[in-house]
A = this chain, B = another copy of it.
């Protein structure tokens, strides 16, 4: 495993950066990132970047963020030693970072609360968001309700059909949900539509992106708001075991929970990163470099550059691209990314439910499976932290249908 972190400083120097932690540089993560958007949005992105830079050192903003994260969001989340899962895997010690306990049921909140406060600070009157499974939409609707900012959410009509309860949740929270019938009528198309709305209403509207994707500065902003996961892990493992974890594991859809987990450790070469992608949407594993939704990154596409349709049992991983910073980690070997298929993810889902009494989100179940597999190859004195990005309540119907189809329930 030690060979995995092969990021030689040579490679980094060639990229013209001293340390990975200092990226992005000029909106780029090495070759990745950038701002591939219609001209109308460029000024808005620059304005966003400036506003974001100003709040980074704004005491009052940071205090408000911290208070809301703690008192509204329930942070810090625990680091839980999964005793029975560890026994089951039979080797390295497995800890779970419990983002499933965050308000709304997933790490999505960490980012949404930060950006929504930023939107308020920027004087925007309206927040738009895209959503696939509905998790980011629900998180945005929650925070919008709490701050009193109207929220409109774009969601593919196929997803609306699949995720009725999340649609109702958003409505209950006072958000408007706009069905998107174009394309495959899923997440990718919802993003397209949100971008169009933003282009139309750029002066009054804040576009709140849900993962470390999209044009610069979004991947940076979302990463920075999600790094609280990794920051907490660092404090928790140090306090508990007086050492850093040997391996961090997280699922990768757009990549925000993974990057939030990994990023604070990026300069710690003893800490290995393992990202678990859905096999049917493995942009890092099976994609190639492309441009989607404003960023150059690994993309699932055909030979002509048309974006592929993806499939995953977990709607949150069902996305054809990935955050540009992951593309760089992968290219440099700083992060390892593996594919977990539906069946394996479901095994992770059941495993955690039955051994630990924690029903993970199907997204997170990918990480659980990958972490347990890897644990077997490690030593007993090694320490794994798996980020449990969300809880599985939202997935029960999907899981039940899956089991019914396989006749296991």
Q: Which residues of A contact B (CB under 8 A)?
A: 70-72, 74, 77-81, 84, 98, 101-103, 105, 141-146, 148, 165, 168-169, 171-174, 350, 353-359, 393-394, 396-397, 399-400, 409
Task: For A103, give its contact among B142, B144, B173, B358 (CB under 8 Å).
Answer: B358
List 7 additional A-B contacts (Cβ < 8 Å) besides A71-B78, A74-B98, A98-B103: A72-B80, A103-B358, A146-B356, A168-B399, A168-B400, A171-B409, A173-B357
* Ranked 6 nearest A-B pairs via Cβ: A142-B357, A145-B357, A146-B357, A74-B101, A174-B354, A71-B78
Report which residue of A81, A146, A394 has the largest number of chain B beta carbons within 10 angstroms of its beta carbon. A146
Task: For A397, give its contact among B72, B165, B173 (CB under 8 Å).
Answer: B165
Interface of A is mostly: helix
18 contacting pairs across A/B (C-beta < 8 A): A71-B78, A72-B80, A74-B74, A74-B78, A74-B98, A84-B148, A142-B357, A146-B355, A146-B358, A165-B396, A168-B400, A168-B409, A169-B396, A171-B409, A172-B396, A172-B399, A173-B357, A393-B394
Cα–Cα, bound, A196→B224 (Å): 56
Query: For A71, what are the chain B residues with a Cβ–Cβ distance below 8 Å?
Result: 78-81
Report which residue of A70, A141, A173 has the largest number of chain B beta carbons within 10 angstroms of its beta carbon. A173
Cα–Cα, bound, A74→B78 (Å): 6
Q: Shortest beta-carbon distance, A127 to chain B, in Å?
A: 12
Q: Shortest beta-carbon distance, A229 to chain B, in Å?
A: 15
Least CB separation from A400: chain B residue: B168
Cα–Cα, bound, A355→B396 (Å): 28
Least CB separation from A141: chain B residue: B357
Please tell me if the beta carbons of A354 and B173 are within 8 angstroms of each other in the complex.
Answer: yes
Cα–Cα, bound, A400→B170 (Å): 12
Q: Shortest beta-carbon distance, A394 to chain B, in Å?
A: 8
Please tell me if the beta carbons of A357 and B144 are within 8 angstroms of each other in the complex.
Answer: yes
